[in-house]
Amino acid sequence: MVLLLLLSFLQYQIILGDVRAEQRSFHEDLKVGTTDQITDKYLCFIKKTQRENPHLDRKIRELIGAMIPLAAPRDSTFHWIESPNLGKWAFTMEVVPASSRLYRMEQSTIGGMLISNCNRIKSDLRTIRAGYDGTWGHIEPGKSYERSGEERLAFVKKPKLSSDYKAFFLKLLGLLKMPFSDYTSRILATAPLEVRKTSGLQVDLQVLSQPPGTTADDVGNKFWNFKYAGRGQIVYALDGGFHISHKETRTINIEKMIFPGALPADDGFTAATLTDVDHGTAITAKIAGRTIGIATNATLVLGRVTDGSGVCDYSTLLELYLKVYDDILARGPKQNCIVSLSYLTFIPKPEDPIDTTKNLYHVGVQDESGYSWYHRLAKEALDDVIDYIINLPNTFFVVASGNDAVDVPVNAHPATLGAVYAGVNPRFIVVGGYSPNVGVNLFQTAPYVSVMAPAGSINVPTRWIDKRLEDWDSYVWTKTLFHRKHELGFSIGTSYAGPAVAAMIAAWLSIGIKVKDIVPLMEKLAYPRVLGGPKALYNGVPISRWTKTQVPAWYKAKKSTPLPPAELNIEISEKNDNLAEL
């Protein structure tokens, strides 16, 4: 028997990448029989060469039966993390522990700065049992921790997409050779517009249509936008949870929702109790919300980064990314898609110390430096899927830079991939955040952060329970008439800058800007709001489209565009609001 087990172990070393992630998860308030009543979770990564092995399912199940003495089938959950296009990448297994004690794990939460740490598993070290230590099937991955952009392009298996023969022959005939600046300027100067009246509290929206040389007083309480902005475009909003019945989001065209996990929905959790539902609701509303949205005619696909219990870890992120890839691929090469992600995670590096009081993911075999291979395997798998997504020709991947201080380098995944894609694939966009009323950078940045969007005094949906606003630490309710009427509050963070850029991309695509010209146009239009300030997002609606009474004097006199002011302090208030029109 021992010999058979040994042979089984050696046989499947060629298949498994690694097994890690022992986490305790128990919620006594949930119904019996769900994944939340199972307390030990394992995540196993399949070696890249074996992902499309047709016999993989049978072999892995044989291995599990031989190596781990599971309890009765009802006491375990086995779940493949897979794609019909890319094969089986990993599996999760959740089992009842040998001990009768049940331990509670705090859910992964978004911290005060609105950045998720998916590895923050808190538990007493005394809860670690001798069994299920995650050491079986261990194979060291490749030595390269980070691939170059060229290596990523070589790695990605190009999807089979039908050719657009009409576009090919038009290019061949030279009919699409209009210079970039000419055709984009023509579209911006002629595309149908809509002028939205806004509150004086909505500076974060007004500045997006503020042309160079103009002031907040010139713009007034208005937002100049393209008519039917975002129509025909698909935006994937990936976050922790969503209030789709909120006053601000109920008008959004939501096509579907994507959930990861073996049991993606749980009766014991409602929208009001999911960990990050307010954050996800705000992201969705910034993209297409009725009052605060930009691409109000876009079609949204909502993707939750957590399983049914509200827990986010490497397994849920990996599965969500794979499902997003499959969904985009199924739409074909003619459908533009924008992925918006503001849910970041800190993945330890080999040189980072592991805090054993907060993180149980280190359990198992480590290298000489004490670094768990688990994190490397997780990062490589997540990177691989993002490579596949971003190399689809019709897709943008927009991610927030993070909310650390301005002197802290970008350090959260997948924003750090901006360094890899810089100069290789411009459709992977890392967005920084600035203060719209002051014009200065608020958070961490990097050379590859090519544009910033408003990240301070951001109007977001807030939670109303029993017709009363709930004050949360992360949100500021000003108790103004505008906020009360629209169930809004203020928040801060690059979490809202990323969706603003994603929505703007959808708006530009909807008026006819080509995919290849989106990023050059965005970078060309962006400009600093104060001298020496960061380049800030601008939608490109020119002053020539304004009503004559609103055009500034310098423009009427045909003078050159004034330089940005040395400093800025736009008042954010309701004093000039005509609330009857809001």
Range with the lowest mean pLDDT among 119-123, 386-390, 456-460, 573-577? 119-123
Mean pLDDT computed over 332-357: 78
- What percentage of the chain carries pLDDT values higher than 70? 64
Q: Is the pLDDT of residue 160 over 50?
A: no
220-242, pLDDT tens digit by residue? 899 999 999 999 999 999 998 88
pLDDT in the model for residue 413? 93
pLDDT: which is higher, 152 or 230? 230
Mean pLDDT computed over 503-507: 99
pLDDT in the model for residue 435? 96
CA-CA-CA-CA torsion sign (15, 20, 21, 22): positive
**Number of C-beta neighbours around residue 163 at 10 A:** 8
CA-CA-CA-CA torsion sign (135, 103, 240, 302): positive
Range with the lowest mean pLDDT among 169-173, 188-192, 220-224, 536-540? 169-173
Q: Please, which pLDDT band fits residue 398 given cuts at 50, 70 and 90? A: very high
**Number of C-beta neighbours around residue 452 at 10 A:** 30
Q: Is the pLDDT of residue 69 over 90?
A: no
Mean pLDDT computed over 151-171: 46
Residue-averaged pLDDT of the chain: 75
pLDDT in the model for residue 199? 92
pLDDT in the model for residue 576? 56
- Say if CB 566 and CB 530 are below 8 A apart: yes
289-325, pLDDT tens digit by residue? 999 999 999 999 999 988 776 678 888 999 999 999 9
Mean pLDDT computed over 364-372: 43
Q: Please, which pLDDT band fits residue 493 given cuts at 50, 70 and 90? A: very high
Mean pLDDT computed over 460-469: 71
pLDDT in the model for residue 485? 86
Q: Hey, what are 104's tokens? A: 């509670």
Please give the class, per CATH, of domain 200-556: alpha beta
**Number of C-beta neighbours around residue 139 at 10 A:** 15
3-state secondary structure of 441: strand
Helix (H) or strand (E) holding 486: helix 481-486
DSSP string over 249-314: TTTSEEEEEE--SSS---TT--TTTSTTHHHHHHHHHHHH-TTT-S-TT-EEEEEESS-TTS---H
The domain spans of the chain are 2-105, 200-556
**191 contact partners, CB below 8 Å, separation of at least 6:** 226, 227, 511, 512
